[in-house]
A = this chain, B = another copy of it.
């Protein structure tokens, strides 16, 4: 099994079914940490998820950037063979987010959120995207996630990510979305906020009732958990001795997971656990550099090596 996966080669042209459509935010991030300032890095949920997924499958990106979007960022997408037909470049400024991390990297303070061209964004799917079978609705306003789904033919597997902001300001739209997706990815505090339930396993049970058959709760350094078909899975996080910048780790997790799933043969149910492990591993690399710095240097071989290490770390 492992050898087969390690040896898996992606033939981009021959198998369009394998591609994963990713919509989300495409942004410039300015990250401050006690170690220094890193202005205008390529960021956004879709960017992190798309790069993470690109190690496993062809990616179709849906997003919007302004005319100020650096060419180097487009080059970075292209380096990962990300299909940019669905990336709108429009007059105005690219979404800009800036945040500051405290020493321990667990506490983050948002300094500014300048929506720019995202304020009037309506995702439009190119015809070539509409038949995608795997869809990741990365973190973005649930109205936009719904709008993307409206344009899809018959996706095989749709997963949504979200954040506390949408629970606060767009809950009805988010609940409408939940009835239409196969899986929901969210972090532990969001799961608690959505369900008013402190126990995460009970929270997952409640989320199933809102629609998603697969509920994945991210717990940062403590890994992730999956509730699916009455069964539970506890996914370990890859242990890191140093976290440089955790921005985008959750998006990398979701992107890596969906990329792996869309390229894997067999049923979703049979592959989802390993897909989460691959997602965790890509997320761990993401944390080791600012923005996409570490993730973009990755190779499939480095991912496979860390997956084997994680297998050894979790073995008992």
What B residues does A53 contact at CB under 8 A? none
The smallest C-beta distance from A121 to any residue of chain B, in angstroms, reads 37
Task: Report B-chain residues with C-beta under 8 Å of the C-beta of A103.
Answer: 198
Q: What residues on B are CB-neighbors of A236 within 8 Å?
A: 234, 236
Interface residues as binary, A278-316 with B (CB distance below 8 Å gives 1, 0 otherwise): 000000000000000000000000000000000111111
- A233 and B237 CA atoms in complex are apart in Å by 11
Q: Which residue of B lies closest to A315 (CB)?
A: B273
Is A79 at the interface (CB under 8 A from chain B)? no
Chain A residues within 8 Å of chain B by Cβ, number: 36
User: Chain B's nearest CB lies how many Å from the CB of A240?
Assistant: 7
Give Cα A234–Cα B221 distance, bound, in whole angstroms. Answer: 11
A312 CB contacts on chain B under 8 angstroms = 231
Within the complex, the shortest CB–CB distance from A181 to chain B, in Å, comes to 23
Measured in the bound complex, the distance between the Cα atoms of B299 and A78 in whole Å is 59
Q: Measuring CB to CB, which residues of chain A are less than 8 angstroms from any residue of chain B?
A: 103-104, 106, 198-202, 205, 219, 221-223, 225, 231-237, 239-243, 273-274, 276-277, 311-316
A-B pairs with beta carbons under 8 Å apart, 9 shown: A104-B198, A199-B240, A199-B243, A202-B241, A219-B222, A222-B222, A222-B223, A234-B314, A273-B316
